[in-house]
Chains A and B, each alone.
Chain A
Amino acid sequence: MENQVQTFVIFSSAFLIFFILFTVYLIVKLKLHDLKLKKSEADLRELNQSLQNIVQERTKELHQSETQFRTLYEQHREVLDNSPAGIIKINANLAIEYANPEMNTILVNASQRYDLLQGRFIRDIALFGNSDLQDFFQELKTGFELSKEIEIAGKNKKMITVIVKGVPIIENDIFLGAVIVVNDVSEIKEIQTRLTASLQEKELLLKEINHRVKNNMQIIGSMLKLQQRYIDDPDIKRLTRNSLDRVKTMSLVHEKLYYAADLSKINFGDYVKSIAIYLFGSYGIRPSKVKLDINIENIFMEISTAIPCGLIINELISNALKHAFPDDREGIIRVELLPTEKDKYLLTVSDNGIGFPEKINLENAETLGLMLTKTLVEQLHGNMRLVRNEWTTFIIEYKNVTLSTFSEVKNKNGTEILF
């Protein structure tokens, strides 16, 4: 009996041990599981919080972007709505996606409201159905910007001129659409026409003035020539001829201007050649005896510079023809004009005649011709020097002057302008 009780006690004890051990183990496992759950919950809460923070941050950024976008959109919309040009955006199928209010003004004749243009094909709009624009939109697809001026019927069926400009939208070589800008240029066109007519009229008048000045100078020249016949004194006769040469030189400028395409400038090389030919004729010098060598590049000069410069050349060539080649002496007269720097020229008039008299120098020259030359050089803001060797060379360096600088010189020096 005692053995049975002991066996029972042993088994009961073993059962008790394992039961309690298992219970404790279960408690531990449950607790660990609970802790794990709590940790997961905490992690989830933390994750949720960080997600909430991210969402809040993103929402804030989105809100800011939206505000910026809205402001930008409003600005663009304002610009487009108040644009003086009609603007249309078309898609790749040439259907209208957007049209601004100005299109209403342009399309008023066609009774097509701008806000009803959306979704319509561009070919269906009367303005763009114009025969001149038939290929325009097809060409836009090639990716080039195009511009075309056409005439259409505007308000009150009055014809207006518009410039249609197309800017294609290309992305990755794919035509996505285009922006069409329509500008009513009728007023500008009208003003342009009036201005062109006015300019033509002015040009005609200026030509006429040049022509008349030239004629008047020729009359003066003719009168001087007539008067020469009645003058017996050779000195007075010479003086009269000198004046005649000077008048002829000036009239040549106006003649050249009359024939020139540009009414403000003349080809200076041609002008010098004409002066020289005239002077050779005037002094009866044969070109075979005294050769003329003109070396002037293709220089165009304003009238304000050309006249004094022409007069200087006139005086110096006349001087050479009169004094450098006496007794049928042969020789060369050389005229050179070279641009040195901006608006500066180097004029050289030289001859290989008998040479300039030693007793005369430029500073104390009393002859009218040289005095006149000096004055004209001053007017041109230039300087003149004389080089004497085998050749007698006048070297004049001057600046291209305009009419305003002329009046400045006159006021400063009190010098009388001779023409």
Chain B
Amino acid sequence: MSNFFNYYASTILYLLNLVAWYILSRKTDRKSVNGIVLNYFLVFFMIFLCWNILMMVTSRSNIVYILFWSLVSIYELFFVLITLFRLARAKKDYSDIFVIIVAILAIPIILAAILTWTNRSYSPINTTDFYNLILLTLGSILILRSLLLQESFLDNIESFFIFSGFTLYFGLHILASNALSIDFMKNFNFGKYANLISLIFWLGSVFLVWKIRSKHS
């Protein structure tokens, strides 16, 4: 049952989300912050779609999992950071700093992946994931705050829903990967549904965004 939800159902939801958000993103200005966020978000779905398909094809291969976990973790950091940088609208070009930050944050992820592979234990991944997710959650909250303070809030509604979903997604994953706190995963298997909950949220968001857009356009 849980496998079904984790792979098949989530694959379908990823596909639906990809199509729905792609349709939604067609009317958006690609060069705006909102357009960039939508583009990266679609790439995020595509990565996950590949991951899920490969997991199903390779019968949950460890190496596939570790590789994609690393890729997704780095991509999520990149995504949140680039959005924060864009929203900061700094006049100076901070691309060097951005690359350095992403590179520094990627080091523990790569190390955790290597350790997990060599030690045959998911503990390094879970631990790194936990701290990463805290950073990503905080980053998402900062993005939401920044979006709310923007004068052009109406132009960035899609981004707002996307990062609301990400806050939920990262928050739920903290619970799923948290070995230090309430151990929610072990007792209730709640963490397993983090992806599904977020995907349903994003799918629902499509309808709400469409509704708001049709009212305010």
Contacts and interface: CB of A to CB of B under 8 A. Distances in A.
A32 B216 contact: yes
Interface string A25-44: 10111011001000000000
B148 interface: yes
Given A13-B193, A32-B216, A35-B154, A21 B201 contact: yes
A10 B148 CA distance: 31
Contacts of B208: 21, 24-25, 28
B190 A17 contact: no
A6 interface: yes
Chain A interface residue number, banded:
20 to 34
B157 A28 contact: yes
Contacts of A371: none
A1 interface: no
A9 interface: yes
A16 B197 contact: yes
A31 B160 CA distance: 11
Interface in B131-166: 148, 151, 153-154, 157, 160-161, 164
How many B residues touch the partner, as a band?
Answer: 20 to 34
A182 to B, nearest CB: 77
Contacts of A209: none
Contacts of B189: 5-6, 9
A92 to B, nearest CB: 65
A21 B160 CA distance: 12
B94 interface: no
B70 interface: no
A6 B1 contact: yes
Interface in A93-115: none
Interface string B89-124: 000000000000000000000000000000000000
B153 A35 contact: yes
A20 interface: yes
B157 A17 contact: no
Contact of A5 (B188, B196, B200): B188
Contacts of A25: 208
B1 to A, nearest CB: 7
Contacts of A27: 148
Contact of A17 (B1, B154, B160, B201): B201
Contact of B200 (A6, A9, A17): A17
A24 B212 contact: no
Given A13-B193, A13-B196, A20-B164, A32 B201 contact: no
A20 B168 CA distance: 8
A13 B216 contact: no
B148 A32 contact: no
A28 B160 contact: yes
B197 A13 contact: yes
Nearest to A21: B204
B109 to A, nearest CB: 27
B178 interface: no
B205 interface: yes
Contacts of A12: 190
Contact of B160 (A10, A16, A24): A24
B205 A17 contact: no
B201 A31 contact: no
Contacts of B190: 9, 12-13
Given A13-B197, A24-B161, A25-B208, 8 more contacts: A5-B188, A9-B188, A9-B189, A9-B190, A13-B190, A13-B196, A17-B201, A28-B161
11 contacts: A5-B188, A5-B189, A9-B189, A10-B193, A13-B197, A17-B201, A21-B201, A21-B205, A28-B161, A32-B153, A32-B212
Interface of B: 1, 148, 151, 153-154, 157, 160-161, 164, 168, 188-190, 193, 196-197, 200-201, 204-205, 208, 212, 216
Interface of A: 5-6, 9-10, 12-14, 16-18, 20-21, 24-25, 27-29, 31-32, 35
A-B pairs, top 9 by smallest CB distance, nearest first, are A24-B164, A21-B204, A17-B200, A13-B197, A25-B208, A13-B193, A17-B201, A17-B197, A31-B153
